[in-house]
Structure formats: structure tokens, C-alpha cells
Chain A
Amino acid sequence: MRAISFVRQFLEVVLAIAIAPLFTGWIAQCRAWLQNRSAPSLLQPYRMLRKLFFKDVVLAQNASALFRATPYVLFGTMVLAAAIIPSLVTDLPLARVADSIALVGLFATARVFLSLAAMDIGTAFGTLGARREMMIGFLAEPALLMVLFNAFMLFGSTSLPSLVDGYRAHQSVVDPSVIFAAVAFVMVLLAENARIPIDNPSTHLELTMIHEAMLLEYSARHLALVEWASSLKLFNYACIGFALFLPWGIATHGADGGWPLLVAIAALLGKLVIAGAALALIESLSAKLRIFRAPEYLAMAFLLAVLGLLVHLLLGA
């Protein structure tokens, strides 16, 4: 293992942390344009974070250590997730210790902590949000796993970097199963990141909230970390999607030097721009689902992923 690998690993994580709010800002900007509104600045999420970090924390009297620790846990798990997703390079030393099954586990850890913290204060809304989040979560996770299994069936590995390497080795192959998996993945991405049609990140209606209801008691730096972690989660999901379905541009094993890395960064930014616009379009065109339609929606995602598997097995056999 070479020192340069660690440097690139470090670079990738820092880049992820730095540009995740930019991605969120870009989606917000596209949404505003699609609604004929004048859009907030791309830097708006950073200004929000800065504002929050300079504020004093207001904490409920009965908040436990769990409530205070959760923002750090969330941020930590999302940074760790960013470290094992090949967003720029596949030569990731950390990725060897955790495959994508562990990645799903990391997301689940974050979810459990946030749900517990939401219930910690004891307000009705926190519990309401936590309950709904767990309902969405237990339906979304199997669907995500099925999507990942699709890719594993193609290349026989559960490690995302080797998957990308595998793709690059057979660039011409576009397996039909991938299309099913991709649609399922986008559906899971929307559900898992509190986007329309499952949740509405910009709502002020406390009774309809899922993700936001869990954050109502957080303030200042805690809220900043949670918001940043949410941005990172969306960024991570986007990068998982790129690794699975659009791996072009990612610097593979053996591609040393500065040039492939620059290409990788440019490719990543380009893909983020397109993906953000596409997400904003999907969100602007849909209304929020009635909450009891969410299971049907996620069951559909699961079904599509399973169909992908079947298609692969039938065609591959």
C-alpha cells in the first residue's frame, strides 16, 4: 500500500465534505428555476452552515448525552461512507475494510441514532418523525440491497471500488438488468434523502414531516452538523449511483499521476450537475405521496430491483 493512495483517499473525503452542500444548493437552485422563481445562491447552504455554527446551542433540559452525541455520530458515519465510496478513485485503502453491505449498515447506524435522538426529548413530533423514518427505512434498505446485489451479480464482488474497476474492464457491456436497478436506485435515493415524493425538505407543516420532524429540537452547531450530514448523505447516494451506473471518469487502479485525478474531478462535477438537475425535475413534477402510499412506492423499487436480478439470471443463463 502506497502513501499516495492515502493522499488520494484523504483528498476524496475532503472534497466530499466540501462540495456536498454545493450539490444541495444546486438542486435547490434548479428547483427554483423550474418553478419560475428567482433562485437562491449556490452558496446558500454554506451561509446557512456558517450562521448555525456561530449561534448558541439551545438544548432541552432533559436532553441526554445521546441527543448531544448524535450530530457527531451522523456526521462521522457520513464521512466514513464517503471514504469507502469511489467517487474519484478506486484505489481506496479504507474501502478494503468495508464493502457495500457495510455501507448500507453505516446508513442504518445513522438512521438508528437520529431516530433515538428524536425520541430522546420526548416531544410528539420527534417520535412521529422517528416512527415514520423507521417505516421508510425498513422498506428502503432491502430495496437498496437488491440494487447492490444486481451489480454484484455482474462482477462478483461486494466492494464498490472493484465494481468500478470491473465496469471499466468491460465498458461495452450494458446489461439490461442495470436499467431496472437504476430506476429502483433513484426511487430509493429520493425516499432515503427525504425528497419529494416521500418527504418534503422545504415544508413548514410539522404534521407532514418525516426527516425535518426529527430535527426540530436541534439548534446551532448540532443542527449545522445534522444538515451537513444530510447533504453528505445525498452526495454519497449520488456517488453510489455514479459508481454503479455511470462509472466513467473515475480514476481506476494503476491510473497514477495528476491527470486522471483531474479528469475524475471534472467528470464528478459534470455528473453532479446533471444528476442534480434531474432530481430537481423529478421533484418539481411530482406531488408528495400520501404517507401510506410510501410502502407501495418502496415495494415497487424492491420489485424492480428483483426484476433486474431475474433478468440478469435469465439472460445470463
Chain B
Amino acid sequence: MMHEPERSIGNLLSNLPCKSKVVGALDWHREAGNVRAAGGQLLTLWGADDRDRDGSFRIFAAYLLDDGIEVLEHAMGNGITPTYPSLAELFPCALHMERAVYDLLGIASMEPDHRGWLRHGGWPRSEFPLRRDFDASRQFAIDSQPYPFVQVEGDGVHEIAVGPVHAGTIEPGHFRFSVVGEKVLRLEERLGYTHKGVSKRFEQMQQAEGHRLAARLSGDSAVAFSWAYCAALEAITHTGCPPRAANLRALALEHERLANHLGDLGALGNDAGFAFGLTQFSRMKEDLLRLNVAAFGARYLLDFVQPGGVATELPEDTPRLLLDHYLVLEERVSGLRVIYDNHAGLQDRFREAGTLSRESAVKLGAVGLAGRASGVPLDLRVHHPWPPYDRMKPKLVMQSTGDVAARVYQRFDEVFESLRLCRMILENSVAGPIQADCPLAEPDRLGLGLIESWRGPVIIALESGPGGTIRRCHAHDSSWQNWPLIEYAILSNIVPDFPLINKSFNLSYSGHDG
């Protein structure tokens, strides 16, 4: 079982400080324990089929520690089912990731839960799409199998099945509630309905076009994903992004954060039955999207971030326009914050609904906005700033109560902080080129791009192939960590509060399902 690796990832490169280590099965688990003990977090888990290279499968885990990223690599021989020790008991969020790795690659953790996570019968149990000998153009008959949810027994306990098709126009996901009356005893999520095979698609693309696919993985985090991809590619090609381009990327990222937070604040009001909030915030979001057209040439910034830089420079008069608009925006958001604060009905719905204590958040590995709302101090922009955030010094914004209200106020506070950062970018504008040449990467380099999106860290792990091809590209959204949080946040709440609680997290289905 202890396979001696022939290739190491000593040449791992990233936009954040990082180190890597090749480990055997025992150390795979022991090192994870050390990380846990040191207060580190599991960022992402991915596998690769390297049988063409050295006859083995590999599993990678990226951890976030105080001094940067640590990536562990473990190689497995090509047995009937290659296996590795599970991380789920140390990092509960690993469970879904391990199930997904099995569905795509056929390498299994020793965790007994082998129900399909991404595989919903679209391909047979014996096929693994991310293996190199799998032909992506093959078609299979749908073969859906029953999915045994964990049953709750007791007097008067019954199940409510919600989704994957919902009454509103939202993404598909299934939620199985076990309830007594209106009280939720257990919630089990089932995702994977929007699995599109993005990882496999990456392998058919050139390095120079991958950012476009990355941007489309989850439309609300387009800038973050395309930046993460470009960061990974620039790391392995040793391309320096010009300062001006980095500034514009940050401006676009903060605009994305603003637009999503404004939309969510309105939607949270609406889900509590306060439609006035929705119309006010929707209008502000719309104004911002129109400003995006003026500044970046598009409402949603799908193709703005490119390898080596950005697509366009700001037009001549837009900095003034943007700065003026930030003032208006700040005043309006402040006004609405007062209304949200003083509305007894809204406060009654928000407070103590869907509480995720700091203790559970730490234990479950909460990241991003939801983590900070529960008092987990983690923001890559603050703790591991990459250019230009290293100069801008963003402030850490945090709440402590972990309920819906905390996630609402987290958004309000982040809106103000984002506006401050946007202003800083425009007022301390540096001139210079917006694009550097990005050469083809040497084959077999592994690059890691990490960007703090509005939802949490997004990660791209990019391995280069020969001649500018992509050998393997793994995209990870923070929703992987945060979806399981909702299963805990809903406990002992009532069924009709679920939509509000779910909205307060507002996680991505598409970004998660990949």
C-alpha cells in the first residue's frame, strides 16, 4: 500500500505563501491531526489520476495555517479500489469532498458512507469520469438509484422532502427534513444536481482560455474564480501581474462583493415578508451593475480578469463617476440599515434564527462570510493578503452571535468596508500597463490560486500539461465547507424559518457541484 512517489510537488506555487509535503497513508492522517491541533482548516481536497505517469492515483489536501497554505500529497497504487485514510473525523467538511472524489475518480476514503454525491445515475457506478481513460463524449442511459437518507424514528416524526425543483426560480438542491410538527429534528442535504463536469472540461482546454470556464463555474463569483485561475497560472508561469491590473482586479472583486451583498440584503428582507427592503436594495444593485457597464464594459464581470492582467482600462471619466456613486450608495445603505435596525418585525425574524455558535463553526470548519458572522476570524484578504490587498490593509469585519441577524449585519459591515477599499483603489490610482505577457507553463507544474470571494475563499489548483494544455484543474468554492453548516444551524428551528436561514448563508449550488 505504501507506494513510493516518483514525483513530488516541491515546486508548488501560489499567490499566497505555501509549502507542500508528500506523505504516506499514516502521515496523511497524522499531519491532518497536527493541522487540526494547530487550529488550521481544510481548504480543499482533490484527487488526480497519474497512472499514465507512474501508475498511481494521488490525493491532495490543502490546509490553511497561520503562516500560509500547506498542501499534502498522498499517492496510492492502482489497486481495485485505491483507498486513503478519511479526514472526516478531523474535518467534518471533508466527508462530502471525499464522496465527490470517489464519484469522479474511484479512489475511496475509508469512511463507510459511499452514497453517490455528484453521481446521480448519470453514469454507471463502474465508470469514473475524471480518469484519463474515460472518454468525455460517451453517453449513458440514466440509471438512478434510491438514495437512502438517514431516518429519524420516534412518535410523530415525519419527513418533508423539498426540492430539487422549488416553487421559485432558484438552483436545484434537495433538502430532507425530519420534523415533529414544525420543529426540525434533522436536515440532510443532497446536492450534485448541477454537476456539469467542469473539471473534465478543463482538461480539454488550453491554459490561456481556462479562466473563462472558471468564471462561469458560479456566476455570482465570476471575478473571484477567474482571478483564482489566473493567480494559479501566473504562479506557475512566473508572470507578474502589473500593479495597475491588480488594482483593477481588486476593484472588480469588491464590486462583485457589493453587488451580491446588496442583492442578499434585499432578499433577506423579502424572505421575512418585508418586500420594501427587496425593492430598495434591488435598485441599488441594479445601479451598481449599470456602473459596471460604464467601468468594465459588462454587468457581470465574466471575462474581465485575464491571465497576465485585465481586459480593459477604466474609461477616462469613470473614477469620478464611481467615487460619486459610492457616496450615494453609502448614504442609502446607511439609511436602510437604520430601517432594518428599527423594524421590530424584521428583528424578531432575524435574531436567534439559525444560530451557528462559534464553537460549532470552528469545529465544522466554517469559512468566509458565514464563518465571520459566527466569530471565526478568517479573511484571506486580511490574514494572507496578496497584491494589491497587501498594501490596502483591509479591516477584519466580524460578528459574534452567528444568527441570521449576524449574517445580515456582516453584510452591512462588509458593504461599508468594500466601499472604503474601492475608494482607496481609485484615489491612490497607479498608472501603468494592464496586461503582462503570460507564457506557456512548463509541463507538470502545480499552481494554487486562492481568492477571498464575497462568499468565502475560492481555490483553483492547476496542473499544467505539455504544450500549454491543462493536465488537471480543480476548482473549489467555499460552499463545500459551508453547506453542512446549514444542517446544524437549522436544528431546533422551525420549518418555515428555513428559507430565511438558507438565504442568510446564500451558498452556491453550481459552484459546489462543479
B92-119 toward A: CB 8 Å interface, digit per residue (1/0)?
A: 0000000000000000000000000000
- Tell me the minimal C-beta distance from A171 to chain B in angstroms: 38
Q: Which residues of B sit under 8 angstroms from A202, Cβ to Cβ?
A: 275
Q: Does B135 contact A (CB under 8 A)?
A: no
Interface pair B499/A290, CB less than 8 Å apart? no
Determine the distance from Cα of A204 to Cα of B273 in the docked complex, in whole angstroms: 11
Q: Which residues of B sit under 8 angstroms from A200, Cβ to Cβ?
A: 273
- Tell me the minimal C-beta distance from B109 to chain A in angstroms: 33
A199-215 toward B: CB 8 Å interface, digit per residue (1/0)?
A: 01011111111000000
* A35-B275 contact in complex given A124-B161, A290-B497, A292-B494, C-beta closer than 8 Å: yes
Interface pair A37/B279, CB less than 8 Å apart? yes
Interface pair A35/B495, CB less than 8 Å apart? no
Determine the distance from Cα of A205 to Cα of B182 in the docked complex, in whole angstroms: 15
* A291-B182 contact in complex given A35-B276, A124-B161, A206-B162, C-beta closer than 8 Å: yes
- Tell me the minimal C-beta distance from A156 to chain B in angstroms: 40
Interface pair B349/A196, CB less than 8 Å apart? no
- Tell me the minimal C-beta distance from A213 to chain B in angstroms: 9
A1-39 toward B: CB 8 Å interface, digit per residue (1/0)?
A: 000000000000000000000000000000100111100
Q: Which residues of A sit under 8 angstroms from B167, Cβ to Cβ?
A: 204-206, 209, 216
- Tell me the minimal C-beta distance from B276 to chain A in angstroms: 5
Q: Which residues of A sit under 8 angstroms from B159, Cβ to Cβ?
A: 124
- Tell me the minimal C-beta distance from B407 to chain A in angstroms: 17
Q: Does A96 contact B (CB under 8 A)?
A: no
User: Which parts of A184-205 form the interface with B (CB within 8 Å)?
Assistant: 196-197, 200, 202-205
Q: Does A286 contact B (CB under 8 A)?
A: yes
User: Which parts of B15-31 form the interface with A (CB within 8 Å)?
Assistant: none
Nearest to A293 among chain B residues (CB) is B348
Main secondary structure of the interface of A (DSSP, over half): loop
- Tell me the minimal C-beta distance from B490 to chain A in angstroms: 11
User: Which parts of B478-510 form the interface with A (CB within 8 Å)?
Assistant: 494-500
* A207-B275 contact in complex given A36-B283, A287-B345, C-beta closer than 8 Å: no
Interface pair A291/B272, CB less than 8 Å apart? no
Q: Which residues of A sit under 8 angstroms from B156, Cβ to Cβ?
A: none
* A124-B160 contact in complex given A196-B273, A293-B348, C-beta closer than 8 Å: yes
Nearest to A196 among chain B residues (CB) is B273
Interface pair A290/B168, CB less than 8 Å apart? no
Nearest to B278 among chain A residues (CB) is A35
Q: Does B409 contact A (CB under 8 A)?
A: no
Q: Which residues of A sit under 8 angstroms from B318, Cβ to Cβ?
A: none
Determine the distance from Cα of A204 to Cα of B162 in the docked complex, in whole angstroms: 13
Interface pair B276/A207, CB less than 8 Å apart? no
* A205-B271 contact in complex given A291-B494, A293-B348, C-beta closer than 8 Å: yes
Determine the distance from Cα of A293 to Cα of B274 in the docked complex, in whole angstroms: 16
User: Which parts of B267-290 form the interface with A (CB within 8 Å)?
Assistant: 269, 271-276, 278-280, 283
Q: Which residues of B sit under 8 angstroms from A196, Cβ to Cβ?
A: 273
Q: Does A289 contact B (CB under 8 A)?
A: yes
Q: Does B196 contact A (CB under 8 A)?
A: no
- Tell me the minimal C-beta distance from B341 to chain A in angstroms: 13
Determine the distance from Cα of A246 to Cα of B286 in the docked complex, in whole angstroms: 44
Nearest to B503 among chain A residues (CB) is A205
Interface pair B495/A128, CB less than 8 Å apart? yes
A35, A208, A287: the one contacting B496 at CB < 8 Å is A208
Interface extent on A, as a size class? 20 to 34
Q: Does A284 contact B (CB under 8 A)?
A: yes
Interface pair B496/A207, CB less than 8 Å apart? yes
Interface pair B274/A287, CB less than 8 Å apart? yes
Determine the distance from Cα of A12 to Cα of B403 in the docked complex, in whole angstroms: 52
Interface pair B161/A288, CB less than 8 Å apart? no
Interface pair B273/A287, CB less than 8 Å apart? yes
Nearest to A287 among chain B residues (CB) is B345
Interface pair B345/A289, CB less than 8 Å apart? yes
- Tell me the minimal C-beta distance from B404 to chain A in angstroms: 11
Interface pair A284/B160, CB less than 8 Å apart? no
* A288-B349 contact in complex given A37-B279, A202-B275, C-beta closer than 8 Å: yes
Interface pair B273/A207, CB less than 8 Å apart? no
Interface pair A31/B499, CB less than 8 Å apart? no
Nearest to B345 among chain A residues (CB) is A287
Determine the distance from Cα of A202 to Cα of B275 in the docked complex, in whole angstroms: 10
- Tell me the minimal C-beta distance from A207 to chain B in angstroms: 5
Determine the distance from Cα of A270 to Cα of B214 in the docked complex, in whole angstroms: 59
Q: Which residues of B sit under 8 angstroms from A36, Cβ to Cβ?
A: 279-280, 283
Q: Does B320 contact A (CB under 8 A)?
A: no
Q: Which residues of A sit under 8 angstroms from B3, Cβ to Cβ?
A: none
Interface pair B498/A207, CB less than 8 Å apart? yes
- Tell me the minimal C-beta distance from A44 to chain B in angstroms: 17
B243-269 toward A: CB 8 Å interface, digit per residue (1/0)?
A: 000000000000000000000000001
Leading 6 A-B pairs by shortest Cβ distance: A288-B273, A204-B168, A287-B345, A205-B499, A206-B167, A35-B279
A sample of 9 inter-chain contacts (CB < 8 A) reads: A125-B160, A197-B273, A204-B168, A207-B495, A288-B345, A290-B349, A290-B494, A290-B496, A291-B182
Q: Which residues of A contact B (CB under 8 A)?
A: 31, 34-37, 124-125, 128, 196-197, 200, 202-209, 216, 284, 286-293
16 extra A-B contacts, CB within 8 A, seeds A208-B499, A284-B276, A287-B273: A34-B276, A35-B275, A35-B279, A124-B159, A128-B495, A196-B273, A202-B275, A204-B168, A205-B271, A206-B162, A206-B166, A284-B275, A286-B345, A287-B269, A287-B349, A291-B494
